[in-house]
Amino acid sequence: MAYDIKCLSILPIINSIPKLILHTITGNMLGDGSISLSKFNKGEGKYSMTMDVYSLNYLHHLNENIYSKFTNTKFYTYPNILLLNI
């Protein structure tokens, strides 16, 4: 079985994350999430996901219990320009 050398450095990091947290992050990514890596600062990335305003309590739960273990950044909200302003 052949592995990409770039991916081998990620395996110890992934193995160090508890399965419940890894499953939660994976579920969010399968919903509407994405990770983009910085072209300028090696090792930095941005995780984004799209959720409706009704999910705000869930987002706070994710931030406090899941994502706070990896970062201390805040939520940034942006309007969905594809929706009509009613």
**How many domains, in total, are found in the chain?**
1
Prediction pTM value: 0.55
81 part of a folded domain:
no
Most confident of 12-16, 61-65, 69-73: 61-65
pLDDT at 38: 76
Q: Compute the mean pLDDT over every residue in the chain, rounded to the nearest whole number.
A: 75
Per-position DSSP letters for 34-81, written without gaps between them = EEEE-SSSTT-EEEEE---GGGHHHHHHHHHHTGGGT--PPP-----T
Residue 44 resides in a domain: yes
Residue 85: is its pLDDT beyond 80? no
Task: Name every residue whose Cβ is closer than 8 Å to that of residue 16 and which is 6 or more positions away in sequence.
Answer: none
pLDDT at residue 83, as a whole number: 63
Q: Which residue intervals of 11-84 are DSSP H helices?
A: 11-16, 19-32, 56-65
Residue 25 covered by a domain = yes
Range of the domain at 12: 5-69
